[in-house]
Structures are given as structure tokens and as C-alpha cells.
């Protein structure tokens, strides 16, 4: 279970990797009969690429057609691309010797015609083959050669792929932190380039590395992201990988029914795309479950098939895993002769793996050192050759001409330096004047803002006392008035007055809040407990509006924050979500750990926000286009206060939303 979609990757494919969309194949077959002859060759190569994860025979068939036509046209690039597809198919079916031969052929032919893309394909193929065979020295060597070319080409998608490949080498060396660092680099590039396949690869590998570290919760989070992408793109092989890994998570959590379902689906996907090398993984998973249930006949059936496939493809880890489980099953059945045979096979593979582990770190370091040494040697040779050439030119030049040229250059440099000095001096003066104007303008704006805030405070304060008298008087009159029509008017006066009082109190609190959050003392807070308390607090309010609160809360999340302001932040976000949610909708409250941060999300199914609303969202006194669904009050101050609290606690707050699709408010805090 070393590689996710690494074996899927073709650096410069313009099409999806799996022939799951008949329209793509129809389009490619149409191109084989139209366009110029080179375009027809390229179409056959693309058809071979579409089939390579599903049917290796079809890949070989169409690639051979491309090779024959490319030879007749004297089109070497098309021939190289076709050989690469045949090599990739050989690798997928476990024929590693043939794959190595073909990829070396791709490199040799590409180098002879200076075909850079062909070189990157050949290096990529060799790196993956040696990775599967456990030769990490060669694998890393070819990955680094590939990365060097891609950086020069500024091929960001290709760089993302190689970062994933290098990360897997580190993972196999149990250097999990280095592996995650490289995977996150790859994921960042894929997100920036909107590469859905790259995002699937990186998310799977991040999940697998977290699984190896024992962090099943983070692993499952990234596996589910991968599952979503592969299902959207109908990526059969990718679904096989991620369904098997999710099955492993459920198996380790002793959820055997769920594990069985995911292993079975993974097996079906692999069988559909004839991925024999990887089919051993779900077979072993199903065998483990039957062994756990003491169903030895079924266990032996699946595990024996897994062992046979693993031996055919040379998959050492799965030979060891399947033989170990077969030993346990045979022993429990009382078949000690077969148990002994499996035990000997298991120990042989185990010793081989242990010996490999002892030399992996040294060989990896040696590979890195040799690569750097070779690169430094090439740079030194180039520099030495350049210096020798310069000396020869100097000896051939006339001393008088050199002196004249040197004098002219010197004068020119002095003139340029003088003009540069004058321009810099002038620019410095202009910059000083501009800074002075900006400082004056800022001071003026600060004064105006202070005057505005002061005026708002004065007006609000002066209104508070008369309104208080009105509310009090209306309350007194209500107790003595018996006329129903007058009581209705008194109710309106009393209710409206209290609403105005609440709004004025909130306005008067704003400036006080801004002063209080200027310098907060932060402490260790159990965010899980705070979030659960707030959810309980708003449960009745949500039920009254027929809104369902749906929490997904990670246990024992501790953060550095302020004990008073954290609940206020969560209360405001949850209150807003309920306020803007129609009846019979959901409000989702999610709390998880993302690297070194606690990440909380409050997501509603309300009207959402447009771009103009998002720009004004966290500012004071902003009334947005969306209205509360039950006529609730809003001063436009709540989110501005939340933003100040979060900033003061060194956190981050942002929103992700689309009009008509609800809004998700995210808050990130530093973990304690």
C-alpha cells in the first residue's frame, strides 16, 4: 500500500487517465481519421493512455499502431510517447524488467533529439518502477533529475507530481514529517493550478502518511476528500486505492462490517481496471476479516489468491502480509504442516524487509549526496571551461585595444552611476513629501473617525434615558389599562422601545469592547467543552425555529485563548446561523484539528452572501442584503465585534459562501 495514484500520473497528458467517458474516446477515434498525419499519431497515443489503467493489452495495441505510423512519418516524438505508454502499462501489470527497458529507451531516444518532455517522462517512469521494487536510491535519483528539468520548465503540475514521489520515498524510510512537508508542497501547487487529479493524489498520500503515524482521524479526513474527487471524476483506479485505505481505517477501529464493504468495493474497482499489483491489498483485507470471524475457508481462499498475485508481481510487503495471515489461519485450523510452510515464507520476507530497513537511511543519504556531488561537479567543469576560454580571448586581444575599451566602459559606468544617484536623490525627496502627505491624511481620517464614534456615543447615550422613560411608562400603563385596543398600542410601544434600548446598549458597548480587546491575557481553554456548552444553550432557540443543529466535534481540543471571549465568538456565529436559516434546515457545527491549529466551522443553509456583502461583512454598522428569516433584529455590529475578539486572541476568521448555497464561517485558533 505504498503508492496511491502515483502510477496514474502522466506528466503532460491533456486527457483524463481512465477511459470512463465514452465521449472522450469517441473524440480521439475521430481524430485518427481527421487532421494531419502527426495529429493522428498523437490521437493513437492518447487512446493508449486512456486504456492503460483498464486494459494493458488495449494500451499496447494502440501504442503499436502509433509507433508504426510515427516511423513511416519520421516523427520520433510520437514514437517516444507511444513507448512510454507501453512502459507504463508494463509497470502496472508487474512486468518491471520490461518497464525499465522501455523507460531507458524513452530516455535514450529523447536525449538524442533533445526532446525534453520525453526525458521527464522517462525519468518519471524509472523513478516509479524502482520505487515499487524498493530500490529507493535509484528511485530518488530519477525523481531529482526529473524535478530539476521541471523547475527549469516552470511546469508546476509536473513539480507537484515529483514532490509527491519524493514524499513517498521519505515515507518508506519512515521519515513521516519530511514526507508530509513534501506532500503539502504538492497539494498547495495542485490547489493553485486547480488540478483535481493532483489534489486527489496529495490528499490520499497525506492521509496515508497520517495513518502510518497512527493519526486515523486526520487520515480518514483526507481519504474522504480523495473519495469525493475520485467519484466526481469517475476515477476507477483511484476509487480502488482510497476505498481500500478507508477499509483499513475502519478495520483498525474494529468496525468490521464497514471495513468489509469498503474492501469489497475496492476489489471490484481493481478487477474492473485489471490492476493486479494492487488487487492483493483488498484481498488481504477481506482475508483478515474472515480470519477474525474464524471463517477459515473463506480466509484461506482470499489470502491464497493474494499470495499468488503478490509472488507474481514481486510485491515483497504483501507476500509477507499474506503468508503471515495464512500461517495464523493454518495454525488455528490445526494444519501444522502448511502453517510451518507459511511461517518459513513469512520469516524469509520479514528478514528481507528488516535488512532493507537497516540500509535504507544510509542509501538515501548516499543518493542525495551523489546527486549533489554530480551537480556541483558539472557546475565546476562549466566554470573552469568558461575561465579557460576567457584567458584565451585575453591573450588574443591587443593590449592597446583592451585599454581603450576599458576606459570607455569606465566612463560609461561613471556616467550611469552619477545619473542613478541624481534620480535616486530626486525620488527620495518625492517619497518624503508623499509620506508627509499620507501622514497628514491619516491623522485627519483618525480625527474624523474619533469624532464620528464620539458623536454616535453621545447620540446613543442621550437617546437611552428618554427611551428608558418611555419603556417604563408603557409598562406601568399596561398594568392598569383594561381597554384591549389601548393595550395593543401599549404593547407595540413597550416592545419597540425595548428593541431600541437593546440596540443602543449594543452600540454603547462597541467602543468599550475595542478598548478591552487591545491586550488580552490568553490561557489554555478546552474548546470542545465550550462549543458543546454553546450548542446546548441554543438548542431550544433552534427547535423553536425548526432548525436542526448537527455537530461533529473532536474531543479534547485545547487552544490558547480568552475564557470570556471564546464563548461570545461561538455564540454570535451560531446565533447568526440560526437567525438566517429557514425552517426545516440544518446548521452544521464542525470542530477538528488541522496541523497546528484548531479549526471550527459553523455552516448554515441560508441565502448566502454575494461579493459586495462579503467585502463589508466584518465592518461596523453594516446591514447586508440577507434578512433574518423570522424578522429577528440586527444592528450590524455582531460580526465586527467577533472579528476584534478573534484578532486579539491571535486567531483567524473568514467566510466561504455562494448566493443561494448558505455560508460557512471558519475560525482558527492556535493549539495549546
pLDDT at 23 > cutoff 70: no
What is the reported pLDDT for 452?
58
Please give the average per-residue pLDDT across 352-373, as a whole number: 48
- Strand 548-553 versus strand 586-594 pairing type: parallel
Q: Say how far residue 281 (Cα) sits from the centre of its chain.
A: 25
Question: Measured between alpha carbons, how far is residue 664 from residues 296, 573, 608, 640 in Å?
Answer: 50, 10, 9, 17
Classify the phi-psi angles of 585: left when phi > 0, otherwise alpha if psi is within -120 to 50, otherwise beta: beta
pLDDT at 386 > cutoff 70: no
Q: Using CA atoms, how far apart are residues 254 and 256, in angstroms rounded to an integer? A: 5
Nearest residue to 88 via CA among 54, 111, 112, 113? 54
User: Mean pLDDT across the chain, nearest whole number?
Assistant: 80
Least reliable range by pLDDT among 164-173, 198-207, 349-358, 584-593: 349-358
Q: Which residues contact 407 (CB under 8 A, 6 or more apart)?
A: none
pLDDT at 148 > cutoff 60: yes
Q: Which residues contact 126 (CB under 8 A, 6 or more apart)?
A: 100, 103, 104, 107, 138, 142
What is the reported pLDDT for 335?
87
Which pLDDT band holds residue 528 (cuts at 50, 70, 90)?
Answer: very high
What is the reported pLDDT for 153?
87
pLDDT at 348 > cutoff 50: yes
Task: Tell if the pTM clears 0.85, that is, is over it.
Answer: no
Which pLDDT band holds residue 359 (cuts at 50, 70, 90)?
Answer: very low
What is the reported pLDDT for 120?
92
Least reliable range by pLDDT among 145-159, 514-528, 537-551: 514-528
pLDDT at 480 > cutoff 60: yes
Q: What is the pLDDT of residues 395-436, one digit of tens each?
A: 666 666 666 776 778 787 788 877 777 777 767 767 776 777
Nearest residue to 28 via CA among 79, 77, 65? 65
Residue 671 DSSP class: B
* Contact of 341 with 349, CB cutoff 8 Å: no
Q: What is the pLDDT of residues 1-13, one digit of tens each?
A: 333 333 333 333 3
pLDDT at 499 > cutoff 70: no
What is the reported pLDDT for 353?
46
Q: What is the pLDDT of residues 109-136, one digit of tens each?
A: 999 999 999 999 999 999 888 888 778 8
* Contact of 82 with 48, CB cutoff 8 Å: yes
Q: Using CA atoms, how far apart are residues 131 and 139, in angstroms rounded to an integer? A: 5
Say how many C-beta atoms besides its own lie within 10 A of residue 358's C-beta: 9
Please give the average per-residue pLDDT across 185-194, as a whole number: 89
Amino acid at each position: 500500500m505504498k503508492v496511491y495514484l502515483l502510477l496514474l500520473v502522466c506528466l503532460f497528458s491533456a486527457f483524463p487517465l481512465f477511459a470512463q467517458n465514452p465521449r472522450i474516446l469517441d473524440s480521439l477515434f475521430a481524430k485518427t481519421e481527421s487532421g494531419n498525419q502527426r495529429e493522428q499519431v498523437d490521437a493513437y497515443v492518447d487512446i493508449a493512455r486512456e486504456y492503460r489503467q483498464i486494459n494493458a493489452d488495449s494500451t499496447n495495441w494502440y501504442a503499436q499502431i502509433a509507433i508504426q505510423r510515427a516511423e513511416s512519418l519520421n516523427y520520433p516524438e510520437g514514437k517516444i510517447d507511444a513507448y512510454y505508454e507501453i512502459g507504463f502499462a508494463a509497470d502496472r501489470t508487474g512486468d518491471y524488467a520490461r518497464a525499465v527497458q522501455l523507460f531507458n529507451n524513452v530516455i535514450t531516444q529523447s536525449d538524442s533529439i533533445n526532446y525534453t518532455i520525453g526525458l521527464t517522462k522517462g525519468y518519471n517512469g524509472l523513478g516509479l518502477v524502482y520505487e515499487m521494487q524498493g530500490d529507493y536510491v535509484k528511485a530518488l535519483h530519477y525523481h531529482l533529475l526529473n524535478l530539476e528539468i521541471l523547475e527549469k520548465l516552470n511546469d508546476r503540475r509536473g513539480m507537484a507530481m515529483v514532490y509527491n514521489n519524493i514524499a513517498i520515498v521519505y515515507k518508506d524510510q519512515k521519515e513521516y514529517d519530511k514526507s508530509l512537508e513534501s506532500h503539502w508542497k504538492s497539494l498547495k501547487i495542485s490547489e493553485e493550478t486547480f488540478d483535481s487529479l493532483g489534489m486527489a493524489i496529495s490528499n490520499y498520500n497525506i492521509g496515508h502518511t497520517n495513518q502510518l503515524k497512527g493519526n486515523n482521524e486526520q487520515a480518514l479526513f483526507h481519504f474522504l476528500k480523495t473519495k469525493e474527487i475520485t467519484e466526481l471524476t469517475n476515477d476507477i483506479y483511484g476509487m480502488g486505492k482510497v476505498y481500500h485505505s478507508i477499509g483499513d481505517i475502519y478495520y483498525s477501529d474494529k468496525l468490521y462490517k464497514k471495513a468489509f464493504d469498503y474492501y469489497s468495493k475496492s476489489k471490484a474497482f481493481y478487477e474492473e481496471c485489471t490492476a493486479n499489483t494492487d488487487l492483493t491489498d483488498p484481498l488481504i483485507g477481506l482475508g483478515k476479516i474472515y480470519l477474525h470471524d474464524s471463517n477459515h475457508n473463506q480466509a484461506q481462499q482470499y489470502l491464497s489468491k493474494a499470495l499468488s498475485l503478490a509472488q507474481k508481481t514481486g510485491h515483497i510487503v504483501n507476500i509477507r502480509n499474506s503468508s503471515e495471515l495464512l500461517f495464523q489461519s493454518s495454525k488455528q485450523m490445526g494444519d501444522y504442516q502448511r502453517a510451518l510452510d507459511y511461517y518459513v515464507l513469512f520469516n524469509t520476507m520479514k528478514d528481507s524487509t528488516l535488512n532493507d530497513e537497516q540500509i535504507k537511511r544510509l542509501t538515501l543519504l548516499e543518493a542525495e549526496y551523489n546527486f549533489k556531488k554530480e551537480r556541483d561537479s558539472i557546475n565546476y567543469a562549466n566554470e573552469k571551461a568558461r575561465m579557460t576560454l576567457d584567458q584565451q580571448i585575453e591573450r588574443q586581444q591587443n593590449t592597446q585595444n583592451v585599454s581603450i575599451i576599458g576606459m570607455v566602459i569606465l566612463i560609461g559606468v561613471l556616467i550611469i552611476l552619477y545619473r542613478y544617484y541624481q534620480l535616486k536623490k530626486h525620488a527620495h525627496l518625492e517619497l518624503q513629501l508623499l509620506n508627509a502627505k499620507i501622514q497628514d491624511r491619516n491623522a485627519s481620517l483618525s480625527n474624523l473617525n474619533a469624532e464620528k464614534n464620539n458623536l454616535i456615543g453621545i447620540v446613543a447615550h442621550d437617546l437611552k434615558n428618554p427611551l428608558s422613560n418611555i419603556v417604563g411608562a408603557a409598562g406601568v400603563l399596561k398594568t392598569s389599562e383594561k381597554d384591549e385596543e389601548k393595550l395593543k398600542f401599549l404593547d407595540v410601544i413597550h416592545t419597540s422601545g425595548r428593541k431600541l434600548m437593546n440596540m443602543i446598549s449594543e452600540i454603547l458597548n462597541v467602543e468599550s469592547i475595542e478598548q478591552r480587546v487591545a491586550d488580552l491575557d490568553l490561557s489554555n481553554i478546552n474548546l470542545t467543552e465550550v462549543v458543546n456548552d454553546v450548542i446546548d444553550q441554543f438548542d431550544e432557540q433552534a427547535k423553536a425555529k425548526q432548525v436542526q443543529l448537527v455537530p461533529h466535534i473532536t474531543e479534547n481540543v485545547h487552544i490558547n485563548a480568552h475564557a470570556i471571549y471564546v464563548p461570545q465568538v461561538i455564540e454570535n456565529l451560531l446565533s447568526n446561523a440560526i437567525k438566517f436559516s429557514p425552517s426545516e434546515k440544518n446548521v452544521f457545527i464542525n470542530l477538528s484539528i488541522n496541523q497546528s491549529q484548531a479549526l471550527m466551522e459553523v455552516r448554515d443553509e441560508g441565502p448566502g452572501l454575494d461579493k459586495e456583502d462579503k467585502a463589508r461583512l466584518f465592518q461596523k454598522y453594516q446591514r447586508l442584503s440577507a434578512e433574518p428569516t423570522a424578522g429577528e433584529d440586527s444592528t450590524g455590529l455582531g460580526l465586527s465585534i467577533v472579528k476584534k475578539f478573534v484578532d486579539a486572541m491571535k486567531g483567524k476568521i473568514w467566510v466561504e459562501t455562494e448566493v443561494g448555497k448558505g455560508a460557512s464561517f471558519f475560525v482558527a485558533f492556535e493549539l495549546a
